Every structure is written in C-alpha cells, then in structure tokens.
C-alpha cells in the first residue's frame, strides 16, 4: 500500500442472494475474504481494500452503501456479483451511493473444472450471469462507474483497479481542498478564470481570496535567523550554487535571501489557512515601494512556488486557480509513482518536421521534480509586472520520457477536462533563457495533438505528470460526471472534432432535461 494513502480505504461488496441456500452464501463470503486478502497482498494496490460483506437483499445493499457514504476513510466502493444477484435489489443502494463506484467483472475460480463441474458449481459461480444483470441496472440508473474486466489475480486487472484507487484518493483530497488566491486573474485572461461556485459543486475544490495586506502580517513575523537557515542549510546544500552567489555582501545573495523569506511567508499563510494550493500574480506583491520599506516581495515568489509544488501544494500562475486545483490532484494521485509532476505553460514552438515540438516553461515556476540534472540556483533579471528586478529561481531542463498533461476549462454549461499524451525529448542548451523548461511533442503528432487541444478550448497552462496516464483522467472525469477529451496516439483529428460537436449536443440536451 502507498503510505500517502494510509488514511483511505476501498470497500469491497459482493452480490449474492439467498435462493441457493445458506451454505452457498458462506462459500461466497469465504471466497470474497480470500480475494480481498489476495488483492491487498499483491503489492499492486495503493489503497487498502476492506471487505464490507455480502449483500443478499435490497435492505442489505442500501445499508452498506449508506455506511460507505458517511465513513470518512471509505473513498470508493468495488462491487462484484459472485452469484446471480437480482439487480432490482441494488436500485435503492445505487441511488444513494455518493462514493466512486467500480464494477469488477471477475470470477473466484480461474478455469472451468471441466471434469467435475455440476449444477452446484454453476449456481455458485455465476459472475458471467450476475455481473451483466448488475451492469444493466447501473446503465438504467445512469450511474457513473468504472468497469474492470479480468481475473482478480492477474496483474493487468489489478493495475486497472490501482489506477482507479489513486483517482479516488485524488477525488477525496479535492473534497477538502482549499486553494488561496494571492491576487486575481491577470490582464483579463479568460481561460484562467471560470465559475468557482460551479467548480466546487462538480469537483469539490474551494477557491478563496487572501488580500496581500494579510500576507504581509505573516511576512513581518518571519525571523531573520529562519531565513538564514533556509538559505544555508537547504538552498546551498540541495542545489548547485555558484560561489559568487554565496557572498552575503552581493546583490545576488540578497535576492536569494528575499526569495527564502517569501517562501517562509507563503508556507506560514498556507499552514494557517489549511490550504493545499495557491495562485500568484505578477502585479500583486505588496508595497510598491518595497525597496524602501522592505515590506513585500521584490518579485513574484518563483523559487518558493517551485519548492512548494515539490511538497504537493497546488499552484497556478497569473491567478489560474483551476490549474492550482488540478495540479494538487495531479501531484496527489502521482505519489509513489516515478518521474515527477509540474505546472507548465506552452511557451514557444520549434518547427522541425517530425520533431516539431513545444518548449514548456514559465517565467520561474516549474517543479524541480522533473529535472534531468541537479537544479541550479541562479539569480537573473525578470522584467515583468510591477517589479522589474533580478530574482532567484531553479534552472534546469526536464527529463526525457512519456507523460500526460491535463487541464480543465469552463465551457459555460459544463467543465471539460482535456488530457494529452506527450513525449519529452532532449532540449538544446538555453544559455540566454535562464528558466526551468521541458521540450515535448504532443501525441499523435504535433499537428493533430495541438489541433485537437485548441479545438477543445485547451489552456496554455497545464498540469504534467510522468507517472499518470490518460486512464487516470478518464476515471477522474467519470467520477466527477464531467466531460473528458482525451488526445493520444489513437486520436483522429476529424473524429475528435465530431465528438466535440456530439458532446455539445449531449450537454445541451442534458441541461434542458434537468
């Protein structure tokens, strides 16, 4: 089990009925316990599965689902029909279930015992029969769920369940996720804004505002000795730092010191509010006369944002609160997976035939978890926003490999999740662009990947992970009952555009029917 998810459980409920007698029910119960124990011992599931019992009647189904709803540790329910379980008895329970649902179509035994099979065996092992009955009522009820099909011991089957478990953990975390905005959206940018009330209705994140005068109250309480310790005991030990920057009399050292104070300030604010993420704004940094008063950030807290992303705080630049929310979930679901995560922005294009790619970066804020080499702590001029001054940042290029990047956009009548498989390639040196960066080619090709992303209304900001796949985002959208637009190696441009039109019709009709 993944330690990060120790406080979570997935409940396993087996469907049966009393038609076949008490002995059959006892066998169902024994088989279910053995299966749950085997799944937990497989080492493939990040969240512990707890056997919640066999349901044999409508009352028993409703009772277990009601208990699942109010149990804080339960983040999802797996249902499996060992025998034929008449699905009308599942109606009330499925109608009240508010936790994510996975329908596991499997069977206790792997092979048919050809030489000994009899009617008793047939009556007991009716998953081929019972799971279709259960699936029918889920479809009749329009119940969102994930369906996993395969033998319960197979690695492939368990890995699909593991993906869903991580997504359930991310969804559960979002229900208790406060994102703080330090400043609003910049320059009237549409794609970074949206309906915060509807967003909380659909996904659970709560987005709030903290004025910078409040931030300054925490800034004033930061002790110089704590800043010194962060600079010398953390920054200078964890990152590659030129000797000239360690000179305490230099301007560069002062800029690093200021960045450390900004980090400690943000950490204090986030801790005080119990927030899991934040946004920043180039134009909202405190006293405009900071060089004279010393009260405020001398530039956007880029280094702080890089390090806070590493620690799992959601982040969105330029007031992009949707990206801050989604990055927190990206990081949370990725815990224990290899490769790292980061907030990124489409920066500039490199047209090079089949290797045409996009340089991903931001002014300062890229998570060092995706770095190919040891990050370098550097100080360079940044001429944007109300502060045009040198500032500290971690500089590196990203690792190569396959990953997925995702974003959420507000379409007015719904939220749309867009995910694109991308391949990170080797970047050329950037001697005059001292920022952290990644270079990637969207799948299936640059033209199709970018074309589909733009047709779907995708943002220039996105949340990237080496460890996640588009299966995670499909599951996430399914649980949230949200539109999902997935772009990968199998995507056809014209078919994708047709699906966007069909989706529009579906959501307009769905809204009208409600």
- What would the pLDDT profile of 171-206 be if each residue is shown by its tens digit? 999 999 999 999 777 777 888 889 999 999 999 999
User: Which residues of the chain form CATH 3.40.50.10940?
Assistant: 3-174
pLDDT at 261: 96
3-state helix, strand, coil in the chain (%, to 5): 45, 25, 35
pLDDT at 121: 86
Q: What backbone phi and psi angles, to 5 degrees, belong to 299? A: -170, 170
More confidently predicted of 84 and 19: 84
Q: Is the pTM of this model over 0.85?
A: yes
| CA 259 – CA 214 distance, rounded (Å) | 18
| CA 46 – CA 57 distance, rounded (Å) | 31
More confidently predicted of 284 and 132: 132
| Residue recorded with tokens 């880029």 | 302
- How much is the average pLDDT of 230-246? 97
pLDDT at 233: 98
Q: Mean pLDDT of all residues in the chain? A: 93
| CA 185 – CA 315 distance, rounded (Å) | 13
**Prior bond of 444 cis (ω within 30°):** yes
pLDDT level of residue 8 (50, 70, 90 thresholds): very high
pLDDT at 389 over 90: no
pLDDT at 282 over 90: no
pLDDT at 387 over 70: no
Strand residue runs (E) in 201-249: 206-209, 240-241
Looking at the chain, the whole-number percentage of residues with pLDDT higher than 70 is 96
Do 222 and 261 touch, CB atoms closer than 8 A? Answer: yes
Q: How far is CA 406 from CA 323, 437, 466, in A?
A: 9, 17, 12
| CA 358 – CA 330 distance, rounded (Å) | 21
pLDDT at 111 over 70: yes
pLDDT at 285: 73
Element (H, E) at 391: strand 387-395
| Residue recorded with tokens 């679901």 | 333
- How much is the average pLDDT of 17-31? 80
Asked: is 3-174 a CATH 3.20.20.150 domain? The reply is no
More confidently predicted of 224 and 512: 224
């Amino acid at each position: 089990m993944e330690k990060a998810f120790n406080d979570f459980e997935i409940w396993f409920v087996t469907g049966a009925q009393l038609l076949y007698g008490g002995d059959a029910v006892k066998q169902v119960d024994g088989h279910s316990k053995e299966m749950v124990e085997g799944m937990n011992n497989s080492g493939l599931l990040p969240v512990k599965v707890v056997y919640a019992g066999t349901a044999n009647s409508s009352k028993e189904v409703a009772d277990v689902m009601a208990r699942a709803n109010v149990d804080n540790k339960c983040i999802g329910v797996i249902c499996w029909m060992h025998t034929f379980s008449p699905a009308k008895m599942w109606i009330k329970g499925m109608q009240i279930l508010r936790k994510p649902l996975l329908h596991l179509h499997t069977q206790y035994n792997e092979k048919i015992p050809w030489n000994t099979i009899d009617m008793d065996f047939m009556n007991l092992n009716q998953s081929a029969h019972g799971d279709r009955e259960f699936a029918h009522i889920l479809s009749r009820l329009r119940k969102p769920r994930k369906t996993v099909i395969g033998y319960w011991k197979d690695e492939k089957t368990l890995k699909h369940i593991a993906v869903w478990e991580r997504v359930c953990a991310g969804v559960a975390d979002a229900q208790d996720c406060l994102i703080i905005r330090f400043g609003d959206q910049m320059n009237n940018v549409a794609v970074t804004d949206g309906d915060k009330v509807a967003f909380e209705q659909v996904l659970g994140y709560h987005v709030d505002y903290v004025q910078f005068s409040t931030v300054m109250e925490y800034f004033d309480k930061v002790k110089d000795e704590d800043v010194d310790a962060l600079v010398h005991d953390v920054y200078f030990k964890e990152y590659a730092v030129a000797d000239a920057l360690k000179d305490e009399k230099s301007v560069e050292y002062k800029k690093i010191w200021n960045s450390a104070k900004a980090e400690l300030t943000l950490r204090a604010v986030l801790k005080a509010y119990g927030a899991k993420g934040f946004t920043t704004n180039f134009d909202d940094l405190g006293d405009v006369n900071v060089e004279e008063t010393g009260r405020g950030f001398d530039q956007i807290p880029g280094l702080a944002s890089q390090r806070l992303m590493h620690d799992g705080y959601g982040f969105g630049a330029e007031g992009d609160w949707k990206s801050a929310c989604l990055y927190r979930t990206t990081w949370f679901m990725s815990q224990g997976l290899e490769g790292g995560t980061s907030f990124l922005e489409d920066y500039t294009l490199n047209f090079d035939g089949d290797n045409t790619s996009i340089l991903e970066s931001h002014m300062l804020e890229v998570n060092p978890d995706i770095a190919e080499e040891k990050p370098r702590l550097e100080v360079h001029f940044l001429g944007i926003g109300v502060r045009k001054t040198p500032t500290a940042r971690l500089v590196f290029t990203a690792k190569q490999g396959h990953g997925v990047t995702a974003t959420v956009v507000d379409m007015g009548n719904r939220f749309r999740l867009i995910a694109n498989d991308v391949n990170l390639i080797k970047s050329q040196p950037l001697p005059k662009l001292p920022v952290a960066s990644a270079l990637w080619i969207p799948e299936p090709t640059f033209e199709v990947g970018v074309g589909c992303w733009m047709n779907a209304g995708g943002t220039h900001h996105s949340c990237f992970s080496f460890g996640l796949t588009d299966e995670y985002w499909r599951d996430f959208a399914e649980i949230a009952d949200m539109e999902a637009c997935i772009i990968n190696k199998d995507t056809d441009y014209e078919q994708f555009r047709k699906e966007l039109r069909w989706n529009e019709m579906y959501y307009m009709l769905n809204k009208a029917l409600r």
